[in-house]
Amino acid sequence: MPTRRVALVLIVPLVLGALALPTFAKKETGGLEGTVVDQDGTPLKGAAIDVNRIGYELGPLGSAYRFLLRTDKRGHFLYSHFPAGAYSLKIVGQDGRILKEIPEVRVEVGKVQNLDSELHVVM
């Protein structure tokens, strides 16, 4: 009987600890989405959205806080796994030209921010 109690005393905390792991493992993330359009309202297919976390230097190999997204055939993009914080964005055309820079966008935990009002570019 004492062996059974010892086993329970050891196993119960392990099981409870394992159940708590998903809570601690959750990342605090949010998202950005939008549709990139030109001055006539035509969606820009294949535009690159270069997203960089503000305050993190980019070394020669880049950064864990740099994300490169592409617009789909409707000019739309969506990414919902950014760590919460402030980011800068560059919209780059298929020809490599920077079409627009957005100096700061805030990502909040559990929210996807729509940037449509800021994504009009001049070609």
Residue-range domain boundaries for the chain: 27-118
With contact defined as beta carbons under 8 Å apart, do 108 and 83 qualify? no
Angle at 38 between CA 36 and CA 44, to 5 degrees: 50
Tell me how far CA of residue 60 lies from CA of 57, 74, 111, in angstroms.
10, 33, 31
Residues 70, 96: Cα–Cα separation, whole Å = 13
What is the fold, at CATH topology level, of the domain defined by 27-118? Immunoglobulin-like (2.60.40)
Return all residues near 65 (Cβ < 8 A) that are at least 6 apart.
Answer: 52, 53, 56, 83
Amino acid 23: pLDDT = 43
Residue labelled with tokens 């270069």:
50
Q: What is the CA radius of gyration of the chain?
A: 22
Using an 8 Å Cβ cutoff, are 122 and 44 in contact? no
Tens of pLDDT along the chain (123 residues) come to 555 554 444 454 444 444 444 444 457 999 999 999 999 999 999 999 999 999 876 666 656 688 999 999 999 999 999 999 999 999 999 999 999 999 999 999 999 999 999 999 987
